[in-house]
Structure 1
Amino acid sequence: MTPFRAGLIAALATLILDQASKLWLYLGTDLVMSQPWRLAPFADFVVVWNRGVSYGLFQQEGGLGRWLLVGLSLAAALGLSAWMRRAGSRLLAVSLGLIVGGALGNAIDRAAYGAVFDFVHLHAGTWSWYVFNVADAAIVAGVVGLILDSLRPAGRTRADAASAGEGRPQA
């Protein structure tokens, strides 16, 4: 399987899992009326509508901000897809695919509802993590994959090595 195909599968799987989980929880259950749902001593399902970006930053109440964030998500997905097309390793392509799928999943929410539907809340004692969804988790996993790929010497191409000065003859 080519790296691009693996990345495309990761993007589609992320998008499908993200949208299916959101639609099921929002339309197929009574979570909105009966939240929180305790899953474990450290995890709940809750309903949070995020009108901003990561960690609730840059909250947008108006239509202009909403559509700017949709456009930004689509532009990022398009740019990352072009990078994914040229990826030389599966790890890089899958990592990019996870980010693309997550960006598209959250863009769909923003376009359809005006906000992103977040529902997973992790906590322990007095510590509480931000509420997130499948798309957010995929984006984080994709960024971790990008970091790991950048640390792998085998993942570097000859062009990367030459630009780093490794291909120059010694004087």
Structure 2
Amino acid sequence: MLKLFTQTGWRFLWLSLLVLVADQYTKFLILENIELYQAIQILPFFNLTHVYNYGAAFSFLHDAGGWQRWFLTVIAFLVSGLVLWWLKQTSKEQMILPVAFSLIIGGAIGNAYDRLVHGYVIDFLVLYYQNWYWPAFNVADSAICLGAVLLIVDMFKNKEEKHG
């Protein structure tokens, strides 16, 4: 069993836990300190704004009537299980891929936890320029996006190594 946590990508599961804890702690701080829909300007292009997302990315399915809560939660756990299995398949020599997988797992579980406990995902990070606003997001979303970027980086890195 120890070999799984030293010789495979599972050695990075601490990163999933770190993402989950950071995500839930920041959401707790938002719930305790910022009223719903209250916006606090941090920089001229960045606010902390307490909002709820009943859907998925960019509020997809937010007005679907409630079934999306359970559907998205099941999808998050299924994807996390699959990614956890892929993470186990990675070798000790790989670095980028298991980090990417671990970030994705931590983010997916963080948002799934919100859906289970609250019925929605707590978002609070808002980027904007003049009247153009990027949809609100959170630490879990950021980890998932960073994980996706690292998957692309790993794909190109491995492609170059195979052809190089």
Range of TM-score over shorter length: 0.7 to 0.9
In 2: Cα distance, 1:34 partner to 1:47 partner: 5
Residue 32 of structure 1: SS of its match in structure 2?
Answer: coil
TM-score, L = length of structure 2: 0.86
In 2: Cα distance, 1:33 partner to 1:57 partner: 20
User: How high is the sequence identity, in percent, across the aligned residues?
Assistant: 31
Alignment of 1:1-171 (within 5 A): 2=7, 4-27=9-32, 29=33, 31-32=34-35, 35-88=38-91, 89-153=94-158
Cα distance, 1:34–1:78 mapped onto 2, change above 3 Å: closer
Q: CA deviation at 1:133?
A: 0.2
Bigger CA radius of gyration: 1
Could you tell me which runs of 5 or more consecutive residues in structure 1 were left unpaired when the two chains were aligned: 167-171
Could you tell me which runs of 5 or more consecutive residues in structure 2 were left unpaired when the two chains were aligned: 1-5
CA contact (8 A) 1:92 1:146 kept: yes
CA RMSD of aligned residues (A): 2.1
CA contact (8 A) 1:7 1:95 kept: no
In 2: Cα distance, 1:125 partner to 1:155 partner: 41
Cα distance, 1:42–1:3 mapped onto 2, change above 3 Å: farther
Of 6-15 and 100-109, deviating more is 6-15
CA contact (8 A) 1:122 1:128 kept: yes
In 2: Cα distance, 1:50 partner to 1:34 partner: 12
Cα distance, 1:143–1:37 mapped onto 2, change above 3 Å: same
CA contact (8 A) 1:37 1:45 kept: yes
CA contact (8 A) 1:3 1:94 kept: no
CA contact (8 A) 1:60 1:66 kept: no
Q: CA deviation at 1:69?
A: 1.1
Number of residue pairs the alignment of both structures matches: 156
In 2: Cα distance, 1:23 partner to 1:56 partner: 21
